[in-house]
C-alpha cells in the first residue's frame, strides 16, 4: 500500500472551530467551546490517517469541518486534485464536492427511514452527469455495488428498518463509495456494531481503499483498530493534536503522557498476569472545553506536570529527523 | 460455595410472528465472591438472562426452569417477596445510567428512596450511608454531589453513582449489564478498576454482561459464551483467552483487531449472520456459520457437557455421539 502514497490530497491549515455559548434573553455570547483549536494536518493520497482521543476531544468536529458540514471559524482547508486546488467551502463545484464523502457513526440514524435503499443510494447519483435521467444504468450500477458488499439486489427495495446494523452500515458504505470519492471521512463507522460484523465492515473499507486508491480520515476511539487500519495516527486532546506518528512508532514509542495513558487503559486481550482491577489509568476526566486550563491543556491530569506547563502552551515539535513523529509536550522540548 | 444456581432456564416470548426462544435451556452457577462474565453478540440472550433472574420481564415472557439463590427458587416467590429480593439481595447496574436515573429527582432523593423502601433507617443514618457509598465509588465532594441532578454528572461519574446505588443495600449478587459500554477507554479503565475494587471489599458476586472480550479478560473469573439463547462454552477466563475450544468463541476472538495484528492482514469475521429467532437451524445453531462443521451437526443438537473439570462446551467436535466426551 505504501507505494501508492505519493502527494498531498488534503491540507488543513490552522483550523479553528469555536461554538459560541449564549446566555440570557439577549442570547449574549458568554464564551466559546473551542472544539477544534488550531489544527494543521496534511493527508497524502492513498493513506489512512486516524484521529483518536476521548469523547469531547474534537475528532468528529474536525471531520465535519473537512467535509464542509461546519464552516471553520478560522483557518483553511485545501483539497488538491490534478486539476487544481480547491478551498473547502459552500461554493465547491459539484463534481469536486462529490469526491469528499463521509460515513457516519450510527447507521440507525444516518439512513432516512422513509426511503428505500434504492432511493437513498440514487439521490446523490442522480445529480451526476453519468447517471442523470438514466434510471436503467443507475439501478444496474447500484446492484453491482451492493454485490461488492455482499448484499443481493433485492435489498434495493427494502427499508432501513428491515436491515440489521451491519447491513445498514454496508448500505451507508455503498452510498459513500458510489460517487467514487477520493477522500472519505469515516466517523467511528464500526463502533455501533458487534465485533464479528465490525471485522466485515473493516475488511470492506480496506477493499475499497485498494480498489479506488482512497484516502481515509478515520475517526475512532478504539486504539487497537486505529493501529490496525492506519498509516499514521494523530492523538487529539481538547481540540489539539498532542502527538502524531505512524502507527507502529506511536505504539512502540509513545511520548506524550496522554498517549501513554491511553495505551495503558486499553483492555488487553490476553491472560491477566497481575491481579484484576490494577490497571494504570488516567485520573479524572477531560475538562470542559469552555473553561480550558491555562498553558498545557493536559496538565490537570498529567503526572509529570511542572511549573512551565501552567504558563506556556506547548507546540508540536519534531522528534525524529524527518518530522514524522511530532509531539506537543514540554518534556521533550530541548530548546 | 454456590450463591446462585440456574437450572434449565427458558425464557420464551410470544409474539405475533411466533415464539421467540430468547433463552433456551441454560444451566450455570455463580460462586460466592466471583465474577462470571457473559459474552455474545447482540440478540444472543445475555441481557434477557439477567432480566430473567431479576424477574423484570414483561408479561409476554414465559420463564421456566429454576433460579436458586441460596437454595431458594426465585421463580416460585410471590411478587411481594421478590421485591424484597431485588436490591436487598440482587441488584442491577444498567447499560445506560443516564436513562436509568429519574431526571426530575436529585441523586440524593433517589438514594434515600431506595433506603426508605428497604431498611428501617433514620433520615440521618440513611444520609450517612449514602454519602459513605458515594465515597466508596470515589465521587469527589460527595456531600455536594448528593444534591445534584443526574444531568449534572458526566458519563463516567453517573456510572459510578449507578454502581453506588446498586451496592447501597449490600447485595449478594450484582448483575452488571454492559457497565462500560459507551464510555471512553480511560473512563472504562477507571470503572473496571472500581468494580474490581468494590467487589473485593464487599465480597459480592457479579454477573458481568458484555460484548467486549477485553473487559471480560480484565475482570471476570469465569466466562460463559452465549449464542442464540444457549451457552456454547463456559470456562475459567484464562482458558477462554488462551485456548478457546468452541468455533464460535474462536471466531469472536479472531474477529477483534489486536495490537499485534499485522497491518495488511485481513480481519477474520465470522461468516454469515446470526440466524433469525423465528428461523433457527434444526441441529447445532451455529452450523450454518461454522468453519469446522460436520454433516452430523446439521440435524443433531450438541449436548452441553463438561469436557474437562470446570470446562463446559456444546459442540460435536468435543463430544461423542453417545453423549460422553471424546478425547
Q: How far is CA B161 from CA B112, B137, B193, B206, in A?
A: 13, 7, 15, 17
> Which of B156, B190, B250, B269 to probe by mutation at the A interface, max A CB count within 10 Å?
B269
Helix (H), strand (E), coil (C) string for chain A: CHHHCCCEEEEEEEEEEEEEEEECCCCEEEEEEEEEEEEEEEEECCCEEEEECCCCCCHHHHHHHHHCCCCCCEEEEEEECCCCEEECCCCCCHHHHCCEEEECCCCCCCCCCCCCHHHHHHHHHCCCCCCCCCHHHHHHHHHHHHHHCCCCHHHHHCCHHHCCHHHHHHHHHHHHHCCCCCEEEEECCCCCCCHHHHHHHHHHHHHHHHHHCCEEEEECCCHHHHHHHCCEEEEEECCEEEEEEEHHHHHHCCCCHHHHHHHHHCCCCCCCCCCCCCCCCCCCCCCCCCCCCCCCCCCCCCCCCCHHHHHCCCCCEECCCCCCCEECCHHHCCC
Inter-chain residue contact B255 with A271, CB threshold 8 Å = no
Do A179 and A101 touch, CB atoms closer than 8 A? yes
pLDDT digits (tens, 9 = 90+) for A25-63: 888 888 888 999 999 999 999 999 999 988 888 999 999
Q: Quick check: is B166 in a domain?
A: no
B38: contact with A, CB 8 A cutoff: no
The secondary structure of B297-317 as a DSSP string is: HHH-PPP-EEEETTEEE--GG
Inter-chain residue contact A228 with B252, CB threshold 8 Å = no
Closest partner residue to B269 (CB to CB) among A200, A223, A281 is A200
**What is the pLDDT, as a whole number, of residue A5?**
47
Residue with cell 488487553: A268
B156-165 average pLDDT score: 90
**What is the pLDDT, as a whole number, of residue B87?**
72
**What is the pLDDT, as a whole number, of residue A4?**
45
Q: What CATH number did the domain enclosing B254 receive? A: 3.40.50.300
Q: Quick check: is B309 in a domain?
A: yes
Is the pLDDT at B326 greater than 70, yes or no?
Answer: no
pLDDT digits (tens, 9 = 90+) for B41-82: 888 999 999 999 999 999 889 999 999 999 999 999 999 899
Closest partner residue to B193 (CB to CB) among A196, A277, A286 is A277
| Average pLDDT score, chain A | 88
- Tell me how many domains chain B contains: 1
Do A36 and A205 touch, CB atoms closer than 8 A? no
- Complex-level ipTM: 0.79
Domains of chain A (ranges, CATH numbers) = 2-99+183-190+207-267+279-332 (3.40.50.300), 110-179 (no CATH)
Do A142 and A59 touch, CB atoms closer than 8 A? no
B104: contact with A, CB 8 A cutoff: no
B109: contact with A, CB 8 A cutoff: no
pLDDT digits (tens, 9 = 90+) for B88-130: 899 999 888 888 899 999 999 999 988 887 777 888 999 999 9
Residues of B in Cβ contact (< 8 Å) with A227? 257, 259
Confidence band for A103, pLDDT divided at 50, 70 and 90: very high
Which is nearest to B47 in space by CA: B257, B208, B219? B208
Q: Quick check: is B62 in a domain?
A: yes
Q: Quick check: is B241 in a domain?
A: yes
Quick one: what percent of chain A has pLDDT higher than 70? Answer: 94
Q: Quick check: is B299 in a domain?
A: yes
Do A285 and A319 touch, CB atoms closer than 8 A? no
Q: Quick check: is B74 in a domain?
A: yes
Q: Quick check: is B65 in a domain?
A: yes
Is the pLDDT at A117 greater than 90, yes or no?
Answer: yes
> Which residues constitute the domain of residue B227?
2-89+171-318
Q: Quick check: is B280 in a domain?
A: yes
> Taking the model in full, what pTM does it have?
0.85
A108: contact with B, CB 8 A cutoff: no
Amino acid at each position: 500500500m505504501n507505494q501508492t502514497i505519493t502527494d498531498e490530497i488534503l491540507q488543513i491549515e490552522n483550523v479553528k472551530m469555536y461554538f459560541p455559548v449564549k446566555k440570557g434573553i439577549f442570547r449574549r455570547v458568554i464564551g466559546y467551546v473551542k472544539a477544534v483549536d488550531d489544527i494543521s494536518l496534511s493527508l497524502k493520497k492513498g493513506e489512512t490517517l486516524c484521529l483518536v482521543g476521548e469523547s469531547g476531544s474534537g475528532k468528529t468536529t474536525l471531520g465535519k469541518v473537512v467535509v464542509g458540514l461546519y464552516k471553520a471559524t478560522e483557518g483553511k482547508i485545501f483539497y488538491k486534485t490534478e486539476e487544481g486546488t480547491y478551498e473547502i467551502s459552500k461554493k465547491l463545484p459539484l463534481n469536486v464536492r462529490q469526491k469528499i464523502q463521509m460515513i457516519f457513526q450510527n447507521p440507525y440514524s444516518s439512513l432516512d427511514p422513509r426511503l428505500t435503499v434504492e432511493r437513498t443510494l440514487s439521490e446523490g447519483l442522480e445529480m451526476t452527469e453519468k447517471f442523470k435521467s438514466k434510471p436503467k444504468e443507475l439501478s444496474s450500477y447500484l446492484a453491482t455495488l451492493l454485490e461488492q458488499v455482499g448484499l443481493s439486489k433485492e435489498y434495493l427495495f427494502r427499508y432501513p428498518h428491515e436491515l440489521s446494523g451491519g447491513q445498514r452500515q454496508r448500505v451507508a458504505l455503498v452510498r459513500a463509495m458510489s460517487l467514487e470519492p477520493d477522500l472519505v471521512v469515516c466517523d467511528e463507522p464500526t463502533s455501533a456494531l458487534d465485533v464479528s460484523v465490525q471485522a466485515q465492515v473493516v475488511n470492506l473499507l480496506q477493499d475499497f481503499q485498494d480498489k479506488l486508491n482512497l484516502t481515509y480520515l478515520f475517526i475512532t476511539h478504539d486504539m487497537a483498530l486505529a493501529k490496525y487500519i492506519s498509516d499514521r495516527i494523530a492523538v487529539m486532546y481538547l481540540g489539539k493534536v498532542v502527538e502524531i506518528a505512524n502507527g507502529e512508532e506511536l505504539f512502540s514509542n509513545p511520548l506524550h503522557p496522554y498517549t501513554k495513558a491511553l495505551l495503558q487503559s486499553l483492555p488487553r486481550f490476553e491472560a491477566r498476569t497481575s491481579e484484576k482491577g490494577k490497571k494504570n489509568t488516567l485520573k479524572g476526566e477531560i475538562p470542559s472545553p469552555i473553561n480550558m486550563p491555562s498553558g498545557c491543556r493536559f496538565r490537570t491530569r498529567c503526572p509529570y506536570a511542572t511549573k512551565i506547563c501552567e504558563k506556556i502552551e506547548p507546540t508540536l515539535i519534531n522528534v525524529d529527523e524527518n518530522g514524522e513523529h511530532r509531539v506537543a509536550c514540554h518534556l521533550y522540548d530541548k530548546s | 460455595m454456590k450463591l446462585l444456581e440456574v437450572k434449565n432456564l427458558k425464557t420464551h416470548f410470544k409474539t405475533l410472528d411466533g415464539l421467540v426462544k430468547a433463552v433456551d435451556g441454560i444451566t450455570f452457577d455463580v460462586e460466592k465472591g466471583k465474577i462470571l462474565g457473559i459474552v455474545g453478540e447482540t440478540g444472543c440472550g445475555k441481557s434477557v438472562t439477567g432480566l430473567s433472574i431479576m424477574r423484570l420481564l414483561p408479561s409476554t415472557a414465559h420463564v421456566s426452569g429454576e433460579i436458586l439463590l441460596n437454595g431458594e427458587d426465585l421463580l416460585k416467590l410471590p411478587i411481594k417477596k421478590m421485591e424484597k429480593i431485588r436490591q436487598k439481595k440482587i441488584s442491577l447496574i444498567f447499560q445506560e445510567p443516564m436513562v436509568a436515573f429519574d431526571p426530575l429527582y436529585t441523586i440524593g432523593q433517589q438514594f434515600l428512596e431506595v433506603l426508605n423502601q428497604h431498611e428501617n433507617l433514620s433520615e440521618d443514618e440513611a444520609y450517612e450511608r449514602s454519602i459513605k457509598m458515594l465515597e466508596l465509588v470515589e465521587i469527589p465532594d460527595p456531600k455536594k454531589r448528593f444534591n445534584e441532578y443526574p444531568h449534572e454528572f458526566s458519563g463516567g461519574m453517573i456510572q459510578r453513582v449507578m454502581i453506588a446505588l446498586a451496592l447501597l443495600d449490600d447485595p449478594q449478587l450484582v448483575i452488571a449489564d454492559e457497565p462500560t459500554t459507551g464510555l471512553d477507554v480511560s473512563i472504562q479503565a477507571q470503572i473496571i478498576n472500581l468494580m474490581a475494587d468494590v467487589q473485593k471489599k464487599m465480597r459480592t458476586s457479579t454477573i458481568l454482561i458484555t460484548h467486549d472480550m477485553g473487559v471480560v479478560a480484565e475482570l471476570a473469573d469465569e466466562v460463559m459464551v452465549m449464542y442464540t439463547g444457549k451457552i456454547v462454552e463456559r470456562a475459567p477466563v484464562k482458558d477462554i483467552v488462551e485456548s478457546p475450544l468452541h468455533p464460535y468463541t474462536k471466531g469472536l476472538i479472531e474477529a477483534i483487531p489486536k495490537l499485534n495484528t499485522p497491518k495488511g492482514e485481513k480481519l477474520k469475521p465470522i461468516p454469515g449472520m446470526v440466524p433469525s429467532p423465528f428461523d433457527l437451524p434444526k441441529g447445532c445453531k451455529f452450523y450454518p456459520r461454522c468453519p469446522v462443521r460436520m454433516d452430523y451437526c446439521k440435524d443433531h443438537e450438541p449436548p452441553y457437557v463438561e469436557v474437562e473439570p470446570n470446562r463446559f462446551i456444546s459442540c460435536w467436535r468435543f463430544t461423542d455421539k453417545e453423549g460422553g466426551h471424546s478425547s
